[in-house]
Structure 1
Amino acid sequence: MRIGIVKHLNARPLTYYFENSSEYDIISENPSVLVELLKAGELDLALISSIECERNKAVLSYSKQVGVCAKNFVRSVLFYRNRNESKLPEFIYTDSGSRASVALLQCLFYLEHKLTLNVIPTKAEEIQLMMKKSEGSHLLFGDHALLHTTSKDYEIIDLASWWNEVTGLYFCFAFWAYPKERPVSDELLLKSLTIGLDNLDKIIQNEMRLPTAIVDRYLRHELHYIPEEKNLKGFDLYIETCKKLNLI
């Protein structure tokens, strides 16, 4: 079985079992790449951005039993608003790795400001270089956001917190998806998560790039992996808003 694994820390509890089993062939990539491999028939299962599950539901099925979910804080999906800009930015440079995060930012600008936001998909490394020069406003996600340090020129806005403030709901960033003609059982996905959570101490200790206390809080408290009712209602509102903005 060929499985697409998201290479960021937020996915480790979901993917730990697959990564550490000899039964599976693993490809590690950003979700924006994984969805294309899935559609091309090169993968049997992949963890992809939640919006891509809906965008491609003609050819893909997906499970809402588990996923990368947040309540009112996520730490790894961050909007960096340039304080030197006197008004709301006309466009934002967005990390091209996660399409769900980009669409979430567009939805939030619409819900909060009634604005249609223009985005420029950009490699995270290029965004980080621009931010060193205090140029533009930006969106980073995953490990790029977790590990990035910024200057006083930027106001940092957590998108899960912003979504919760605007809607009163929670958010789902990613789900497991698979080709319609080759379904994958929820039992396998739940088994993988259970084993990942059983090994959470090991996952936390293996992360050397951040202080252990931050990793522990991030994986144990700021993220959760079984969607709650407010996550699913938030996902429905997100998809409805994306459709209004012609993002789906």
Structure 2
Amino acid sequence: MACQPRCSFLTVTTHRHVACNGLGGTHEAIHIPCIRIKRRPDVRMTHRGDRKADTRPFFLATFPARRTVLPMSTSKLRIGSVPYLNARVLIHGLDGQPESTLELHPPSILARKLAAGELDAALVSSIEYLRHPEYRAVPGLSISGLHEMWSIRLFHRVPVERIRTVALDRASETTNALLRILLKERWRLEPEYRAGEAGGRSGERGAAGDEDAFLLIGDRALAFDDPAWQALDLTRVWRELTGRPFVFALWQVRPGIDIGSLGARLRRCRDEGLRQAESIAACEAVRYGRPYEWTLRYLRDIVCYDFGAEERAGLRGFQSYLLAHGLLDRKRDDLD
């Protein structure tokens, strides 16, 4: 009795192109009978130079093996920014650009995501730049205060020299460190510092707990208005102490990212944001319930968006105080 060859089926997916208003084709699967036969283990050279047995089906074995190289997909640049009013000018027009995505988070979350590689660039607190020598700062851009910064304030219900307890704002380590430095250097105070609840207790009217003072940054500092609490502008105290601006945040880029092209894009956003400051102020004044003139002055006159020689000198001064107060482990040399 003749021996019958054993058969199996090889499923091959083919493309059947159907012209349908210019749309793509459909897919169909066909089954090809494949006869398993005994043959000598032919040996061929692969593209890597290895010697391997050719185990492909017999109807493909006569064709040389070939590596298929798929085109690499171009990933978008992941950019993060603070969601505060003081960043509106810097990120104007950045959202929706095809080359990147934009995320908005408080400074502490941005710092964590940048360190974890979840963001490629972020508008991050200046203390992160001093802590991470691998980060590069986009030239010419920052969020700085020259003489005052309405959105960085310590609210206190006793005279400053009598402050014994302070609730910090967990959203920003830069501002917390700045407050510690100023209270020690200016008033010789070392109060008990407590962790504030970001977005919660210390930011709500009349709900600051039993602390003598609490720190607020960003939009909550702009919105808080209670006659029972006096406000201390930290930028003003820093200016009196050092004679320099204070740099609160920088555009920081992790290694491997082309800072040249990104920096050019971000500077164009800043320049266009300044040109559109009046329209931005008109929209934000409604959202914040503030007068248009107040909002425009904050955007155009109070917040500084540059990072030049004066701002760099202010950042060097901050680094020196951090080192002296044990709040920074090592010096970043490229600030000199």
C-alpha separation in 2, matches of 1:25 and 1:230 = 32
Please say if residues 10 and 142 of structure 1, whose CA atoms lie closer than 8 Å, have aligned partners that are also in contact. Answer: yes
Aligned match of 1:231 in 303, 308, 311? 311
Change over 3 Å in CA distance of 1:6–1:128 after alignment to 2? closer
Shift of 1:121: 3.0
Please say if residues 63 and 175 of structure 1, whose CA atoms lie closer than 8 Å, have aligned partners that are also in contact. Answer: yes
Deviations 1:27-78 (A, max 9, x none): 1101110111111111111000011111122x32223511001111111000
Instruction: Give the equivalent residue in structure 2 for 1:113.
Output: 187
Query: Aligned partner of 2:113: which letter?
Result: L
Structure number with higher relative contact order (C-alpha < 8 Å, ≥ 6 residues apart): 1
Shift of 1:118: 4.4
Partner of 2:117, secondary structure, is coil
C-alpha separation in 2, matches of 1:131 and 1:98 = 22
Deviations 1:109-129 (A, max 9, x none): 122133445432322321034
Change over 3 Å in CA distance of 1:130–1:55 after alignment to 2? farther
Partner of 2:140, secondary structure, is strand
C-alpha separation in 1, matches of 2:160 and 2:116 = 45
Change over 3 Å in CA distance of 1:191–1:87 after alignment to 2? closer
Change over 3 Å in CA distance of 1:40–1:6 after alignment to 2? same
Instruction: Give the equivalent residue in structure 2 for 1:194.
Output: 271
C-alpha separation in 1, matches of 2:232 and 2:270 = 29
Is the aligned partner of 1:61 residue 2:145?
no
C-alpha separation in 1, matches of 2:160 and 2:264 = 51
Deviation beyond 6 Å, 4+ runs, structure 1:
none
Aligned match of 1:3 in 52, 76, 79? 79
Partner of 1:73, secondary structure, is coil
C-alpha separation in 2, matches of 1:87 and 1:157 = 12
Instruction: Using the aligned pairs only, state the percent identity.
Output: 26
Please say if residues 205 and 226 of structure 2, whose CA atoms lie closer than 8 Å, have aligned partners that are also in contact. Answer: no
Shift of 1:142: 0.7
Shift of 1:23: 3.1
Change over 3 Å in CA distance of 1:205–1:51 after alignment to 2? same
Instruction: Give the equivalent residue in structure 2 for 1:220.
Output: 300
The structure number with the bigger radius of gyration is 2
Is the aligned partner of 1:72 residue 2:152?
no
Partner of 1:69, secondary structure, is strand
Residues 17-56 of structure 1: pairs in structure 2 closer than 5 A: 17-56=93-132
Please say if residues 78 and 100 of structure 2, whose CA atoms lie closer than 8 Å, have aligned partners that are also in contact. Answer: yes
Instruction: Give the equivalent residue in structure 1 for 2:173.
Output: 99
Residues 132-211 of structure 1: pairs in structure 2 closer than 5 A: 132=207, 135-136=210-211, 137-152=213-228, 154-185=229-260, 186-207=263-284, 208=286, 209=288, 210-211=290-291
C-alpha separation in 1, matches of 2:247 and 2:106 = 17
Please say if residues 171 and 232 of structure 1, whose CA atoms lie closer than 8 Å, have aligned partners that are also in contact. Answer: no
- In structure 2, stretches of 5+ residues that fail to align are 1-76, 329-336
Partner of 1:226, secondary structure, is coil
C-alpha separation in 1, matches of 2:226 and 2:161 = 20
TM-score (norm 2): 0.68
Deviations 1:126-159 (A, max 9, x none): 103484467321010110100111133x221111
C-alpha separation in 2, matches of 1:201 and 1:150 = 28
